[in-house]
Structure 1
Amino acid sequence: MHRRVASLACALGLLASTLVALPASAAVSTGCVASVPEPGTTTPVRICYSLFKPAGAGGSHTVPMVMHSHGWGGSRTKDPAAFKAWLDAGFGVLSFDQRSFGESTGVAHVMNPDYEGRDVIKLVDLVAGLDWVTKQRPGDPLLGAIGGSYGGGFQFAGAFTELRDTGRTRFDALAPEVTWWDLKQSLAPDEAARTMWLSLLYAGGGTHLPPAVSAAFVVLIATGAWPPGQAGRDLDEFFARNGPAWHVSEGRNLDIPVLFGQGISDNLFNLNQGLANFERALTPRARARSIFVGYNGGHTLPSVLPPGYATPGDPCSIALGSSSFPGLALRFMSTKLLGKATDLSGYGAYHLATADGRCLTQQSLPANARYKLGKIATPTGVGLPVNVKVAEGPLTVSGVPRVDARVYTVLPDAGVFLGLSVGTNPLTAKVVQNNTMPLREKRVVKGERRSIELPAVAVDVPAGKNLYLTVTPVADMFAGQRGPLPGALLLKETSLSVHRTRSR
């Protein structure tokens, strides 16, 4: 996946080999490994790769390896020019086709540890057998990984699957971008489907899914809600183990350094997903050796209803001394795998691009301010958003806001979408970093307490502008629902909790 601009290919993360001479005196070999058969079959699945060996690497001069893979619907990178900076820095690179994509066979299980997780392990075994790759002990290569979206998912799938199966992982450092913590929660938070993105994902790779899952996916897109009955159970089973959330629930945490890149204006895998990975997928020791960078980019579609804003860019990679996140990833791996003195700093902290494009660094993001908002009557159908004033600027808010309220509905399947906005008045307020999250009530409720996680943000509210809570009956990313229109919904005893960093 390209790192900043979402495209359809992005949204949609046996060792017979041939050698080809490269201009930089490096070489590339291609081949496939035999991996786990599909359920009910005995034929091994082929996972195909391109292997890039830097100039001078050999048995007397070994180098660390970096694994790479593509976004959903894509295929591996075969052009050595794409990895020139890595090869020149003294890394080998292995780029591979995920199961069912490119030249690889099988069906996409979307990072299931028993399939894609085992595929990654087969490739690590291949790397461990190369005499020009540095070994820390027999069978244990010095190993990192890069890639975004689906290409970030393989990094967690491989490392956590090894941890599950052997008690340790052979990966020594990871650099995943714009990937997920919990896949179901990303695709359908509160079981309200992100139909805009799901349509793109299905168009780019729906035929690669198992047939029952593909059919249930169509229902999810068509109705905008998690399917009832067997279709919903099929999806629940399919997505149950497809991310770090499941591994952590089973008591596993990675004890290796990770450079996280997450799009704050990403409205598929939002900032909440990246923060959960940083805060929960790692041991405390690993987190202290890791870096979190949030930028305005990733899987980005504009928010028109409700109107939103963000300034594209990555000021935090620049603030940390690199021109881009890929450059920062190279420095990170050079520090961790080559032992180079790169002057890289910022470990254990959050580095977040604000909606207006500056870099905000925080050591922690606990909620430390609470605003009482009282009663909020939400609009029905396609009514205009309600913008409730929270506070006047100047102030800075970051992290994951949360709304607590008693909820009342008059119809089943009532729902609204919530987010923070900034403007001079309610009519000019725009949603911060193009993101909202749903509150969906399947049944009629009368005063049930709800705690709703809003999209994580980083935003400066200048003097003369206000911070608002936006409550809207419709939102672009959840568009196209053909189920019942959202019904009236009332919030009482409403409060908003945020991390207020400082006044400006």
Structure 2
Amino acid sequence: MLSVFSRFSLLSLVTALVLTAVTAGTAAASAGAHEPDDVCIPGVPETDPLDAGPVEICMSVFQPADAAGNNRVPVLLHSHGWGGSRTSSPGSFQRYLDAGFGVVSFDQRGFGDSGGKAHVQDPEFEGQDVIAVIDYIAGLDWVERKGPDDPVLGAIGGSYGGGFQLAGAFTEIARTGDTRFDALAPQITWHSLPESLAPQEVVRSSWTSLLYAAGAGAHTSTVHAGFAEGVATGDWPATMDEFFRENGPEFHVEQGRKLDIPVLLRQGTSDNLFALDQAIKNFDRALTGKARRDSLLVGYNGGHALPNALPAGDAVAGDACSERLAGSYQELELRFFAEHLQGAPPELDGRGQYHLMTAHGDCLTVDSVAPTEDYTLPDITTTTAAGVPRAVPIAEGPLTIAGTPYLDGVVTALGLDSRAFLALSVGTTPADARVIQNNMLPHREESLNLGAQRSIELPSVAVRVPEGESLFLTVSPVSDMFALHGSRTPGGMQLTDLTVRLPVPQRTG
């Protein structure tokens, strides 16, 4: 298995490609491009004694050439991915400006020219910072308003730049019962940070190590201490659960809050940091029924997409669903905002549906991603801490799957803190079966267990299993996505009375 540290160069390259894909088309310079106005405003002061002090949040304001007090326009709020900074060069966001939108790109606290430390979308810090930026936008005389201090406002950005959108909107709802955002377009972002960084408290070590390194200068003392504890013990520290607890839609949904605005969710079906299930949970749980009927979820093969080497995974790059809906994601996003911010006729198809690119490159459009069909599996025994992956046949193709599968059965763990890693895979035989879209999830038994009923969530997928190939369940004692975070003691795990519940669409497009 590759060590975490030997993968840093590859991970850095993957992250750079992700950020490039998310921001593609925003920096196409044009002759005589308008210079943005650079502005800094007060943010929430830091309160930690080690970091205490005033904070400024800095932004670049892009005003369309024909926008003025007598010709007001909507604004799109933009921010960067983790470890990045705002987009400020002349000519950036030209396609949005040409389409009649102003753009405000800002440095989140701890990055770029903004001060403070990164609290990773904490409502009391980044959430309040977003509100301060919206207050500033509302005071610009060329910005269209729905009322006093209420601009016509959308938002764009991916990963951490998608997280700010949800943090800002939910923080406003928590404060006032409503948000001034009129539409959001978050890409490759999360529903729950603890679930993404450490599902079942098993750390996605390849990604957490990279993210820690990329934001080293922005971390709070709490994160520094938590990372050191995790490296020393191999466990997900309780302090990290507390630090991240409120920093995503999951927390707000638990408090009874939902977004009542249209959202264009774009997620990587082969993303193995903020995986497809995170967008599905946002779509299903974080939106009101009315908002969901006006929203779209578009899955593409990409995102934080690191290939699985152990066990071997498989995916192809592309965005077939955006291409089918509007020709490209860039065009889909512009049409989405034109409808919801500029009053264009509602001509986009596919609202309220899931549009998921498959592992083999086509697009599935479905009305539900819930399990619909059950398949019985033989008993499975796997070693823990060391060993080789095992692929267990489920069904022969042709078979279509789109959504989140589950494995139900009785689990017996013959060791302390036993961990196994599971995923669906496709191949002609168990020997050549490859993990669908490069994503695995752990199952963890913290103590000796002589048999307990479990329902295990498997990675969300979209795949057409062709005739001549089969669907498998891959069970492995190790996964390179969770390097150094396998079982704590040698032993074994037995799974019996097994049923896999698959989301086989009743209707596909």
- Shorter-chain TM-score: which interval? over 0.9
Correspondent of 1:337 among 341, 348, 352 = 341
Cα shift readout 1:32-66 (whole Å, capped 9, x = no counterpart): 11011111577431000000000111000000000
The answer as to whether partners of 1:416 and 1:486 remain within 8 angstroms in 2 is: no
Cα shift readout 1:135-182 (whole Å, capped 9, x = no counterpart): 011110000000000000000000000000011100000000000000
Whole-Å separation in 1 of the counterparts to 2:261 and 2:54:
31
Q: CA deviation at 1:24?
A: 4.9
| Partner in structure 2 of residue 465 of structure 1 | 469
Task: Give the secondary structure class of the aligned counterpart of 1:379.
Answer: strand
| Partner in structure 2 of residue 17 of structure 1 | none
Whole-Å separation in 2 of the counterparts to 1:222 and 1:487:
22
Q: CA deviation at 1:68?
A: 0.3
| Partner in structure 2 of residue 265 of structure 1 | 270
The answer as to whether partners of 1:395 and 1:502 remain within 8 angstroms in 2 is: no
- Equivalent residue letter for 1:76: R
| Partner in structure 2 of residue 445 of structure 1 | 449
Q: CA deviation at 1:10?
A: 5.5
Whole-Å separation in 1 of the counterparts to 2:165 and 2:254:
18
Task: Give the secondary structure class of the aligned counterpart of 1:256.
Answer: coil
In structure 2, relative to structure 1, the CA distance for the partners of 1:102 and 1:419 (3 Å cut) is same
In structure 2, relative to structure 1, the CA distance for the partners of 1:491 and 1:458 (3 Å cut) is same
Correspondent of 2:314 among 309, 312, 328 = 309
Correspondent of 1:238 among 243, 255, 258 = 243
Whole-Å separation in 2 of the counterparts to 1:65 and 1:271:
29
Paired residues for 1:36-435 under 5 Å: 36-40=44-48, 43-221=53-231, 223-227=233-237, 232=238, 234-323=239-328, 325-341=329-345, 343-435=347-439
In structure 2, relative to structure 1, the CA distance for the partners of 1:461 and 1:430 (3 Å cut) is same
User: Does residue 494 of structure 1 match 2:498?
Assistant: yes
Task: Give the secondary structure class of the aligned counterpart of 2:383.
Answer: coil
Whole-Å separation in 2 of the counterparts to 1:486 and 1:259:
45
Larger CA deviation: 338-347 vs 124-133 = 338-347
Task: Give the secondary structure class of the aligned counterpart of 1:334.
Answer: helix
- Equivalent residue letter for 1:53: Q
- Equivalent residue letter for 1:331: R
In structure 2, relative to structure 1, the CA distance for the partners of 1:224 and 1:178 (3 Å cut) is farther
- Equivalent residue letter for 2:103: V
**CA RMSD for the aligned pairs?**
2.0
| Partner in structure 1 of residue 36 of structure 2 | 28
Unaligned runs of 5+ in 1: 14-20
Whole-Å separation in 2 of the counterparts to 1:486 and 1:454:
24
Q: CA deviation at 1:480?
A: 2.8
The answer as to whether partners of 1:193 and 1:221 remain within 8 angstroms in 2 is: no
- Equivalent residue letter for 1:153: G
Q: CA deviation at 1:314?
A: 0.4
Task: Give the secondary structure class of the aligned counterpart of 1:407.
Answer: strand
Larger CA deviation: 79-88 vs 421-430 = 79-88
In structure 2, relative to structure 1, the CA distance for the partners of 1:204 and 1:10 (3 Å cut) is farther
The two structures have a TM-score, normalised by structure 2, of 0.92
Task: Give the secondary structure class of the aligned counterpart of 1:351.
Answer: strand
Task: Give the secondary structure class of the aligned counterpart of 1:159.
Answer: helix
Whole-Å separation in 1 of the counterparts to 2:69 and 2:448:
69
The answer as to whether partners of 2:366 and 2:507 remain within 8 angstroms in 1 is: no
- Equivalent residue letter for 2:285: R
In structure 2, relative to structure 1, the CA distance for the partners of 1:24 and 1:170 (3 Å cut) is farther
Q: CA deviation at 1:382?
A: 3.1
Whole-Å separation in 1 of the counterparts to 2:343 and 2:35:
25
Whole-Å separation in 1 of the counterparts to 2:292 and 2:485:
40
In structure 2, relative to structure 1, the CA distance for the partners of 1:333 and 1:486 (3 Å cut) is farther
User: Does residue 481 of structure 1 match 2:491?
Assistant: no
Whole-Å separation in 2 of the counterparts to 1:498 and 1:328:
30
The answer as to whether partners of 2:60 and 2:105 remain within 8 angstroms in 1 is: yes
Whole-Å separation in 1 of the counterparts to 2:491 and 2:202:
14
Identity, % of aligned positions: 52
The two structures have a TM-score, normalised by structure 1, of 0.93
- Equivalent residue letter for 1:31: V
Larger CA deviation: 388-397 vs 479-488 = 479-488
Unaligned runs of 5+ in 2: 1-12, 23-28
| Partner in structure 1 of residue 9 of structure 2 | none
- Equivalent residue letter for 1:390: I
| Partner in structure 2 of residue 7 of structure 1 | 15
Whole-Å separation in 2 of the counterparts to 1:383 and 1:130:
62
Task: Give the secondary structure class of the aligned counterpart of 2:129.
Answer: helix
Task: Give the secondary structure class of the aligned counterpart of 1:218.
Answer: helix
Cα shift readout 1:2-57 (whole Å, capped 9, x = no counterpart): xxx842595899xxxxxxx9845644100111011111577431000000000111
Whole-Å separation in 2 of the counterparts to 1:503 and 1:93:
39
